[in-house]
């Protein structure tokens, strides 16, 4: 029998026993749902504000066990906070335009007006570690070999950069993108040193932005309480790895794919450091 109350105890069958005594209708309804989930009938008697649930006598031990487990679970249950998703900051209107103007202006300068500009600003492992030319890992990000190189980095850089900006904020997001590019160039230079190694292009920072997005996704998945299931947590890492493999230029000898890879890895590490405090605050 389902939840509607039986008005008179005299109408109860003779082979039933009291399974639960509840203080309210809602409490009785919840206990009744537990019994119904066992595919068993029950009788609900309301008398002077008291709600009694009866079951068949031979089913009483198993029902009592389930109801006891239900009450213990309710005593320790905490409301689940709805997943709020990746934190969404207002996207900056000016930074993408400023970045575009800087890269285009630098490209024009290096090709039309200052041919020595490329030589002075490109990534040079020997210059960095022997002559102390510390600026090279940064200035190399603003130099490009041709127009297609520039446009590719602009398109993907602004796309990834805007997404990072929404997750971490304008200052932190773009700052970490630049830092990932600088660190990625430095690490690759250290790997090649003392052999000469020259490179240029913003792609190290572009793949750093992709790594930052992967880190944001990893932390987001972790805070969805998916720690017991490793697969779902690693989905962002797998997706980022696929994008790195498709666009990283590993089959092109003219592309510094090692810089792309280390920009990506550096972005992940920086993103983990930056994203954990944001999510920690959000879940408190």
Q: Where does the chain show beta strands of DSSP type E?
A: 16-22, 43-47, 50-56, 123-124, 198-199
In 234-256, which ranges are continuous DSSP H helix?
A: 235-247
Q: What is the pLDDT of residue 179?
A: 93
For 52, phi then psi, to 5°, come to: -110, 135
How far is 169 from 2, CA to CA, in rounded Å? 54
Tabulate helix, strand, coil % of the chain (nearest 5): 65, 10, 25
Name 90's Cβ contacts closer than 8 Å, sequence gap at least 6. Answer: none
pLDDT value for 183: 93
pTM of the predicted model, to two decimals? 0.62
Cross-strand bridge partners of residue 179: none
Q: Which domains does the chain have, with CATH numbers?
A: 9-76 (3.30.70), 95-282 (1.20.1540.10)
Q: What is the pLDDT along the chain (284 residues), one digit of tens a residue?
A: 444 455 455 666 788 888 988 888 888 898 989 999 989 899 888 877 788 889 999 999 999 999 998 888 887 765 545 444 445 566 566 777 888 888 888 888 887 766 688 888 888 888 889 998 899 999 899 988 888 888 888 888 888 888 888 878 888 888 899 999 999 999 988 998 888 888 888 888 888 888 888 888 777 766 665 544 555 556 666 666 666 666 555 555 566 778 888 888 898 898 888 866 554 444 43
């Amino acid at each position: 029998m389902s939840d509607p109350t039986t008005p008179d105890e005299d109408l109860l069958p003779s082979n039933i026993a009291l399974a639960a005594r509840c203080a309210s209708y809602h409490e009785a309804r919840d206990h009744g749902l537990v019994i119904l989930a066992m595919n068993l009938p029950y009788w609900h008697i309301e008398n002077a504000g008291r709600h009694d649930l009866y079951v068949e006598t031979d089913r009483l031990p198993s029902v009592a066990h389930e109801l006891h487990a239900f009450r213990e679970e309710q005593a320790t249950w905490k409301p689940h906070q709805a997943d709020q998703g990746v934190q969404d900051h207002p996207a900056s209107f000016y930074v993408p335009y400023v970045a575009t103007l800087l890269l285009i202006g630098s490209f024009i300068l290096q090709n039309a007006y200052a041919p020595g500009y490329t030589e002075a600003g490109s990534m040079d492992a020997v210059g960095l570690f022997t002559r102390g030319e510390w600026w090279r890992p940064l200035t190399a990000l603003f130099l490009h070999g041709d127009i297609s190189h520039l446009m590719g980095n602009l398109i993907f850089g602004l796309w990834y950069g805007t997404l990072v900006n929404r997750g971490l904020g304008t200052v932190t997001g773009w700052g970490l993108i630049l830092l990932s590019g600088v660190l990625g160039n430095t690490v690759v230079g250290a790997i090649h040193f003392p052999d000469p190694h020259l490179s240029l292009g913003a792609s190290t920072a572009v793949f750093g932005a992709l790594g930052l997005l992967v880190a944001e996704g990893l932390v987001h998945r972790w805070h969805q309480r998916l720690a017991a299931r490793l697969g779902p947590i690693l989905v962002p890492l797998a997706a980022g790895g696929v994008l790195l493999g498709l666009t990283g230029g590993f089959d092109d000898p003219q592309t510094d794919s090692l810089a792309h890879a280390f920009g990506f890895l550096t972005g992940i590490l920086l993103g983990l450091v930056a994203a954990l405090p944001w999510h920690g605050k959000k879940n408190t």
